[in-house]
Structure 1
Amino acid sequence: MSENIINEVKRVLKKICGEYGERLTGSIKNRQLEEYTKTYFEKNGYNVELQGFSCIDWKEQGVELFCHGESFAAKPSYYTKACQVEAEYVLLKSIEKLKKSRIKDKVAVLYGDLTAEQLMPKSFSFYNPEHHQEIIRLLEEKKPSAIVTIVDNDTSIFEDGDFDIPSVYVTKEVGKKILNSTGTINLSIKAERINSIGANVIARINEDKEKKVVITAHLDTKYGTIGALDNGTGIAILLLLSRLIKVEMINYCFELVLLNGEDYYSTPGQVEYMNEYLGEDSDIVLAINCDGIGLKNSKTAIAMMELGEKELLLREMIVGKENFEFIEPWVEGDHMLFLMNHIPAIVLTSKNIFRMIDSVIHTERDTLELVDYNRVAEVVSFLEDFIKNTYRSITE
């Protein structure tokens, strides 16, 4: 493994996570990273498309919550609207209670079953359980002035720019004090939705070839994180591959796609890419998704889906590589765009990352201190070999 590759991984990750940091879809930092990656790809001889879409940027300046004359800590739900509300509050812990409630112009305090899990955004088309839709529909029909959610984890129940009822979330400790009495809540949310734009960054070589292999990573982050593992390392891997894979080395179209919106409520980049490039006449023969790669003290995990007879070839490549391990497929991530359209997919991540989803990923703790640069460089080298040698032989 080249020392130059390791050093370039370090340099690129420092740029992505240090200079750009939190890169929310539609934000200034997100658009700046689009331009940086576009320029990087172009310098390596790739033709680049910025596949644009409309979205919103969201800014918040804090929350004030008063109940029974006491001030309580609260956080705004992601993408919430602003409000200034003083009203009686109603306690609701189940869908049945919500159905029977009269909460128009009141503050709905949700807890119990109603806040057991994050509610899927209205326009999230890939997964949206009926009971989530029912809760949202009932709230919109009953028109409370605002919503306070009591949560077990420090997580927003609502994350939806299409849901217009202002909302905040509080801890169980704060919630107990609200639940133990009745009265009014005075709630102020300072927040703003700003119309914006974003883009997928799509880099290609050999565009005239009939068959296409695609490697993806997502460009954006959640709020409050620089996203080193999720997904700075994935971005770095795609950039490095553009240095290593050249036109004359392969006999098919090679596409590197930085999808913009995996951590955004309506996945606009993923939807845009799927609508334009994943129809019945798609020429993509394989997709590889890179997400969460490079965790220290963890092997690189590989899952294969719908590969058929080509699975054996990949397994032969991994045999003897002590830092790689096969795992069972899972149904979250950008690889699902391709599987939904019957395109074989491979996904690479860190084996131990799944135990960190709630405690590290999507939080301020997802920093470069967690990254093993050698492990990231190993994945770059593995994919280089796979693209230049193994998959070339398959497509001949």
Structure 2
Amino acid sequence: MELLTRIAKPRPAGTVQNREITDYIGSYLENLGYETRKLPFNCKVWESQDSYLMIGGNKLTLHVNPFSESFTGTRRAILVRNLEELERVECNDKILFLTEDLAKEPLQPKNYPFYYPDEHKAIIDCLEEKTPCAIIAVTGETSMSGLKPFPLIEDGNFHIPVASLDKEIFPEIEGEVRGKEIDLSIVSKNSIETAHQLIASKKVSDPKGTIAICAHMDSKYNTDGALDNASGAAAMLLAAKGIETNSYNIDILPFNSEEYYDPQGELIYLKDLEKEEKEISLLINIDTVAHVGSKVAVAYFNFKEKEQLKLDKIMNTSTNIVSGQPWYAGDHAPFVFGGTRCILISASDLFEGCLSYTHCPNDTIDLVDEKLIEDAAEYICKVVNDIVLA
């Protein structure tokens, strides 16, 4: 499938390949008769090189957290395990190791507009107040991606250098770290580039409203992002070709920056809706779909009972479409919380193995079942072409 192969390559917001794919998607939609707009925004583009700790003459590999600042030097190491210890510790200009409770899950970017839990804010605020010269997060696996060790802080607005160390290694070296002088090298660079949010629209006469179909087109670094989310972008674009409604205006939204610490692409669209005084009748979000061996799972939000019965009928007469569990860590979330009707489309095994391939080099095109992309697109077309919303 050309759509999939053209998109499934590393494409973080602002990178050359991200811009090329934005242009490709724009041309594709223009050829289908959609009117397109490309709205620019500035973002950081990140690159890193080999980074390490020197412990007892041994060089230990570190995984630089995306958008980290750089650091090279020798400092005394301090270790903390929980927020209470962090609040008490004196670690100005020290190398601060975060373990256990402080490194159990990735922290949300500070000031993330849609979701920033209090417990994450407390950790971030305390770290910034304590001013260590660098942070080493002792992390392992996470249920939300295939990265190991996972990055703890992926945030260009956080200006303390940070890297991750595999927690399986740490017990062997803890005694050589605590309170000792250690050599650290975090090699990381950020530059400011321009990315674009594409909005493609097709209007009808006397519309009953607007249906928005979205799938994020960007990826994390160092991954082809085939499942997450070239699969969803391809399904969205295939659906854009088959939509034949005369009742609703259509917006096609390849959101650019869902995998970035600042979701500027979605914020641009939300501001555009406000400016145009336009409400969305229905939003369909496709994210991480078509995993080999799975089915296409759909979840509904904010529908009336009669509308949901109609959607169930469409689902039950569609190939490989099943009912899925709702989740909120995606582009549909602000619309859901605002009361908009939303349909979420993802892999039926998203939380039973699929996510373990994402955000890492393992997320390649051989994990994607192209037939499921076609099934997802067909389902979307049925919904858009048939649904009547009160």
TM-score after normalising by structure 1: 0.91
**Match of residue 37, structure 1, among 16, 22, 25:** 25
Contact 1:77/1:156, CA 8 A, preserved across alignment: yes
Q: Which residue of 1 aligns with 2:236?
A: 238
Distance in 1 between residues matched to 2:278 and 2:288, nearest whole Å: 27
Name 2:5's counterpart in structure 1: 14
Matched residue, 1:180: 175
CA distance in structure 1 between the partners assigned to 2:120 and 2:376 by the alignment: 38
Q: Secondary structure at the match of 1:272?
A: helix
Distance 1:107 1:126 in 2: 31
Partner of 1:212: 210
Amino acid at match of 2:52: E
Counterpart secondary structure, 1:73:
strand
Residue 301, structure 1, aligned to residue 297, structure 2: yes
Which residue is equivalent to 1:46?
34
1:105–1:143 CA contact under 8 A, matched in 2: yes
- Give the partner amino acid of 1:375: L
Secondary structure at 1:14 match in 2: helix
Deviates more, 1:190-199 or 1:160-169: 190-199
Post-superposition Cα deviations, 1:102-124, rounded to whole Å, max 9, x if no partner, equal 11111001111110111111131
Q: Which residue identity does 1:350 align to in structure 2?
A: A
Q: Which residue of 1 aligns with 2:102?
A: 114
SS in 2 for 1:78: coil
- When structure 1 is superposed on structure 2, of 23-32 and 205-214 the one drifting more is 205-214
Contact 1:73–1:174 at 8 Å: present in 2 too?
no
Q: Secondary structure at the match of 1:74?
A: strand
Aligned to 1:7: none
Aligned to 1:161: 156
CA distance in 1, matches of 2:32, 2:22: 16
Find the counterpart in structure 2 of residue 193 from structure 1: 190
Structure 2 contact 204–246 (Cα < 8 Å) conserved? no
Instruction: Output the amino acid matched with 1:160.
Output: D
Instruction: Tell whether the 8 Å contact from 2:140 to 2:168 is kept in structure 1 after alignment.
Output: no
**Residue 135 (structure 1) aligned to one of 103, 106, 123:** 123
Mapped to 2, the partners of 1:127 and 1:72 lie a distance apart of 34
SS of equivalent to 1:131: helix
Q: Give deviations 1:75-100, integer Å, cap 9, x for gaps.
A: 11111011112101011111111111
The two structures have a TM-score, normalised by structure 2, of: 0.92
Partner of 1:229: 227
How far apart are the structure 2 equivalents of 1:197 and 1:74? 29
> Closer, same or farther in 2 for the Cα pair 1:358/1:231, shift >3 Å?
closer
Gaps of 5+ in 1: 1-9
Structure 2 SS opposite 1:273: helix
Displacement, 1:192? 0.9
Cα distance in 2 between the residues matched to 1:335 and 1:173: 36
1:1-396 → structure 2 map (5 Å cutoff) = 10-17=1-8, 21-153=9-141, 154=148, 155-181=150-176, 182=178, 183-206=180-203, 209=207, 211-245=209-243, 249-277=245-273, 281-308=277-304, 309-321=306-318, 323-356=320-353, 358-388=355-385, 390-391=386-387, 394=388
1:265 partner SS: coil
RMSD: 1.9
1:348 partner SS: strand
Q: Which has the higher mean CA deviation after the structures are superposed, 170-179 or 261-270?
A: 170-179
Using the TM superposition, give the Cα deviation of residue 244 of structure 1 relative to its aligned residue in structure 2, in angstroms: 2.5
SS at match of 2:259: coil
Given that 1:67 and 1:184 are in contact with CA atoms closer than 8 Å, whether structure 2 keeps it comes out as no
Query: Are the equivalent residues in 2 in contact too, given 1:46–1:242 (CA < 8 A)?
Result: no
Paired with 1:57 and 1:219, the residues of 2 have a C-alpha distance of: 16
Relative to 1, partners in 2 of residues 1:321 and 1:358: Cα closer, same or farther, differing over 3 Å?
Answer: closer
Letter in 1 for 2:153: F
Q: Contact between 2:204 and 2:247, CA under 8 Å: does it hold in 1?
A: no
Q: 2-side partners of 1:114 and 1:386: how far apart? A: 44
Q: Per the alignment, in what secondary structure is the counterpart of residue 255 of structure 1? A: strand
For 2:279 and 2:124, locate their aligned partners in 1 and report how far apart those are by CA, in whole Å: 39
Secondary structure in structure 1 of the residue aligned to 2:33: coil
Amino acid of the residue matched to residue 354 of structure 1?
Answer: F
1:180 partner SS: helix
| Change beyond 3 A, Cα 1:139–1:116 | same
Distance 2:275 2:182 in 1: 50
CA apart distance, 1:177: 3.2
What's the CA shift for 1:341?
2.0
In structure 2, list runs of 5 or more residues that go unmatched: 142-147
% identical equivalent positions: 29
Closer, same or farther: CA 321–382 of 1 in aligned 2, 3 Å? closer
* Alignment partners' CA distance in 2, 1:270 and 1:354: 25
For this pair of structures, how many residues does the alignment match? 379
Give the C-alpha shift of residue 395 in structure 1: 5.5
Inter-partner Cα distance in structure 1 for 2:189 and 2:359: 22
Counterpart amino acid of residue 121 in structure 1: P
